[in-house]
Every structure is written in C-alpha cells, then in structure tokens.
Copies of this chain bind each other. A is one copy, B any other.
Amino acid sequence: MATVPVHPAWLPDEAWRPIGSRRVRVDLDGTVRDEVRDACARHGGTLVTNGPADLVLTHGDGDGFTVTREPGVTTVAAATHAGLLHGLFATVRLGEAAFTPAPPLHSAPAHARRMLDHWDNIDVHPVMGQVERGYAGGSLFWKAGELRHDQLRRIRDYARLLASIGINAVALNNVNVHDTEAHLLTDRLADIATLATIFRGYDIRVHLAVTFAAPMLLGGLDTADPLDPAVRAWWAVTVAHVYERIPDFGGLLVKADSEGRPGPFAYGRTHADGANMLAAALAPHGGVVHWRAFVYNHRQDWRDRSTDRARAAYDHFTPLDGDFDDAVILQVKHGPMDFQVREPVSPVLLAMPQTRLALELQVTQEYTGQQKHVCYLAPMWAEVFGVLPPPGDVVAVANTGDDPFWTGHPLAQANLYAFGRLAWDPALDPSAILDEWLSLTFDPGDGLRAAFHAIMDESWRTYERYTAPLGVGFMVRPGHHYGPDVDGYEYTPWGTYHFADREGVGVDRTVASGTGFAGCYPYPWNDLFESVTDCPDELLLFLHHVPYTHRLRTGRTVIQHIYDTHFTGAAETERMRDLWRAVKPSGLLTPDLHARVATLLDEQVRSATEWRDQLNTYFFRKSGIPDNRGRLIH
C-alpha cells in the first residue's frame, strides 16, 4: 500500500537538532533512550554511556521532572520513565535554550490523568461516518472493519506526538458503542492489546468505551441490571480477562442513559449503582471507570418551558455526590450544554466535592468550525481552567484522523497541542502556547510569527462573533452542526435555545422567573447569573430573556451588539484570509500546507458571511430594528 506523506506536526526533525547534535547520556532504559539515539543518528550527535555529556537524562525524585541547566551540562531528572520522557520533550521545546545556563526548571502535571477520547468507530456509521464528529478523515486505528495493521508505524508516531504534550491516557473508541465496537471488550481484545503495546512505549495507557448492555450483547445474559449478581460476575470476569492481556489497561468509559444509550435507569437503578458495579470490577486491577455526566432528556417537548437541558447533569448527578466509589471518575463537559462556543462552566464541576471528577473538553471542532475554520480554542479552555479547582482528570475529544495533516485544518494541530499543554499546566498563557507550537512546527521568522498570532490568537472570539451572540448556542443546522440555522433546534426534542420573538431573545434561567439554573451555582456565581444587570454580557442570553433594546454593560443594545459582532466577525475572517495570502511558503511552512490553509480560509470567509447575513436578517426580520450604522441587512 502506498504511504501518504504525513506531516510531522510539532515534531519535525529540525526540532531535535539541539539534542541530536550533542553528546547525551540516558540512564533509564526505554523510549527516552531510543528517541535520543534516533535524534543523534539524524543530527550527528552521540549517545554516550559514560564520559562527558552535554545532556544527561537520569533518575530523580518526585512527580514530573526537573531540568537543571549548568555551564557545560544540562540534566533532566525524573523518578519514572514517564517523567523522564516528558522531561525529554520539554528539552525539545526549549531548543538551544536548553543548553544555556538558567535556574532549575521543575515541572509536575496539574492533573494526574491527561486523556484523549477518540470517537472512532470500527465500522463506518451511515450518518456519522467513521469518526463521530471527526473532521480529519478516517480513523487512525480502524479501516474496513479491521485494525490498521499497515499503519502501526503511524500510530506509533501519533503516540509520540501525544506523549510530547503530556497526554498519558487514550480511549480508543466512540462513546456511542455500536455492535461491532462492543466486541473490542471480549473477542476483539487482541486489537486493543496491539494498540496498548504501541501506546505503552510512550507511557500512555489505553482505555475502552463500553456499552452498559454488554452483559446482554456479549455475555448472553437477559439483563444488565447492575445489582444482579450474574451481571456483576460477568463484568468481573470480563475485566479480569482484559487485565490478563493488558496489565496496565487504564479502564472503561461509559455513556449511559444518554441519547438512546442503555444504562441503569432501565432497571430502576441509579448512575452510582451502574458506575460502582464497573468500579468493583476494575478497582482490584488498578483501573478506573470514566462515567459521563452527559445525561439529559433528548425527547423534550419544546412547549414545556420547565425542562431545561442546562440543568440536566446537575439534577441527575449532584444528589449522588458521595455515592460513587473511588474508582469512579465522573466525566463532566465543561459547560452545561454541549461544547458550544460560549457556555458558563458546568455547575456540576463546582457542586460535587465528594466525587472524583474529570473535566471534558472538545478538541474536535464540532460546534466551532469543524476544522474548516481557524478557531484556536486555548483561550476558551484557559477561561474554564481559571475558574475551576483542578480536577484529577482532564479529558478531551480528539480532533485527529488519518488526514495527512492529522487534523484536517493544519492549524487545528495547535488545538491538540494546547490541550495537552494546558492539561499539564493550566496556568500557561494561550498565546505563549501558540508561540511554542509555532516555534516547533514552523520555526518562523518574526514576520511570519506575527501573522500567525494575528490570525489565530483571537480566532475563538472571532468565531463567537460571527456565530453565537451573547451565549445563545445551537443556532446550527441540525444533524451535521455546520453553518447557521437559527431556528434549526428551536422546536426539536433536543432542547430549545433562544425563544426569540419580536420583542426579545434569550432563555430565562433565573430562579426568580425561569428554570432556576442560575441557582445551581455557588455564591457569588448564583447572584451574578441571577441578575440581569450583573450577568456578564457574553452569557446574558444564556441566562436571561431580554428585549432587543436591553443595554449591555458595554452600553450597546442587544440588537446592535448582534449586528456589530456579526459584521465585525465576518470582516475579521477576511482580514485573516488576506494575512495568510500575504504569507509565502518557505522552510517548514510547505506549499501544500500553505495551499490547504488558503483554501480553508476561503471557506471560512464564505461561511462567516453566511452566518453574518442569516443571523442579521433573522433578527432584523424579528425585531424590525435597523442597524444604527445602516449596513446592508438582507
């Protein structure tokens, strides 16, 4: 089979020159030494076993790693091979600066588990495709129903990319577990073992998404009741078999009682009953269950204004705080809805002190341009991390596939990169992360670097401007979720999101007159969100229904804000496109990468213009209020 050339992402050969051109000693066996040997082979350096060395990678103490830069020798020390591996990649990031004397650098991860969830299917789903919400080609792991044995080298490269940004856990299949994929747990476990061997080389543990109905589907039982002894025994035996084959298996991931998936509700059991059953099977082996809190009624009646999808996870799970076993990690999306471009932080993340929590982010750009639009998400994630106590786990839905650039849009690589870096250290500055990624990926000159920043730094807020004003979400085409459709979900069973009429717009989620969602937050959030005057502008319509003439904290009216941000946002995409056109391919910025980004920016301009015109027309037709600057509204 012909090999498609694959982009090196942020680990081009060039990034290894500072290390690979020196004398390096590695005191631990494993991948660290293999990487150094390979780098030295490429760049003329030497892997030494004794004698003078410019770089020493050696045993140390504590969590993470320490880089000590003294004249003549730089030392990276860590207690484990994983720590040393992360230290090695930190040294790659430092580049030549790694060999300039500087104060010691100690780095330990803020979150113990930094995980990617792959929504990959083995079979191509007739609607969702092979990777659900995937915008980067087919699966890296599966093709035509089988493991991609011809791509194991590429999977190794992928593991290396993930390890280089600190990822240490990967779930290998879609949380919507269909029939074929259910069998990965049992008779297709060999595939998982093969992948585990590859990821293990980079100190990444593999996890598996399973269906709650597995005892029936795979075990031939007539129930999946979590309190049924036969069901519990089936899970115990099945999980034990997994650990026989994969001793460092990470654990299971479950989407239960959500969007049609089976779960404990069918047996009158709670989610704690369900999760604890799996925890009991996993705990003896050191595994965990990631139990998703994404549970809501997707058969709502839009006429019923008392049902609020934003409350659903809170109402389902906070009463269970304290009921979950230690091996259960409740995996909570960052916002109460579903990865919209702007949401408040989920109140569940602030309300379950006795439960192990994982924060779930979405690197795949389902609602943020589907990797056709530049939308650098790190600023959004930094805001989320800024208001949260660090959970033990950070999880993200992957944005990768078998695309030659890994991520469809080449610049979407920056999102994966930033996710790993923020999961390790949420205090990092998004623009600094971008800079780091740029240096590794393109080694750009000042002008090019400035162009990238001008295109990417603000791109999330730009996307917000031309799509969703003031916290209104879901104004997208149902199904595929690309492009505008203001009323697309307004009357569907999936939830209702704007309630726009000729007087005003927004969802009243106050305690005083709405769904009470604002009251799910601790002080001072509850007070802030409850008050129409104190509520942050960017969340106003998520929390309040207001007249179009309501004055924002900026002094602008809501309707004028809608017009202004849509004109501005669309114009910003034109500026981004023009900046990119002025860039010339050279060096690591290859002509094919440049051309793909240029084509995608054309689409981004087209799409942003469509968003601008549909949104402005929709709200002009409803409000009847003209733009105060007289711009064209159709």
Enumerate chain A interface residues (CB-CB to B < 8 A): 126, 302-303, 479, 484-488, 491, 500-503, 613-614, 617-618, 620-624, 634
Chain A contact residues: over half helix, strand or loop, or mixed? loop
Cross-chain contact B621 with A500 (CB below 8 angstroms): yes
Cross-chain contact B624 with A502 (CB below 8 angstroms): yes
List B contacts of A491 (CB < 8 A).
Answer: 484-485, 614, 617
Min CB distance A612 to B, Å, is 11
List B contacts of A624 (CB < 8 A).
Answer: 501-503
Of the A-B pairs whose beta carbons lie under 8 Å apart in the complex, a sample of 11, sorted by A's number, is A302-B634, A303-B613, A484-B491, A485-B488, A486-B487, A487-B487, A501-B622, A502-B502, A502-B622, A502-B624, A622-B622
List B contacts of A613 (CB < 8 A).
Answer: 303
List B contacts of A618 (CB < 8 A).
Answer: 487
Min CB distance A303 to B, Å, is 4
Min CB distance A304 to B, Å, is 9
CA distance A620 to B484 in the complex (A): 23
List B contacts of A302 (CB < 8 A).
Answer: 634
Given A485-B487, A622-B621, A622-B622: A303 in contact with B634 (beta carbons within 8 A) = yes
Min CB distance A625 to B, Å, is 10
List B contacts of A484 (CB < 8 A).
Answer: 491
CA distance A621 to B624 in the complex (A): 13
List B contacts of A126 (CB < 8 A).
Answer: 126
Would you list the 10 A-B pairs with minimal beta carbon distance, nearest first? A501-B621, A303-B634, A487-B487, A502-B502, A502-B624, A491-B614, A126-B126, A502-B622, A303-B613, A622-B622
Of all chain B residues, which has the CB nearest A491? Answer: B614
Cross-chain contact B502 with A621 (CB below 8 angstroms): yes
CA distance A491 to B618 in the complex (A): 10
Of all chain B residues, which has the CB nearest A634? Answer: B303
CA distance A126 to B128 in the complex (A): 12
List B contacts of A622 (CB < 8 A).
Answer: 501-502, 621-622
Cross-chain contact A502 with B614 (CB below 8 angstroms): no
Of all chain B residues, which has the CB nearest A620? Answer: B501
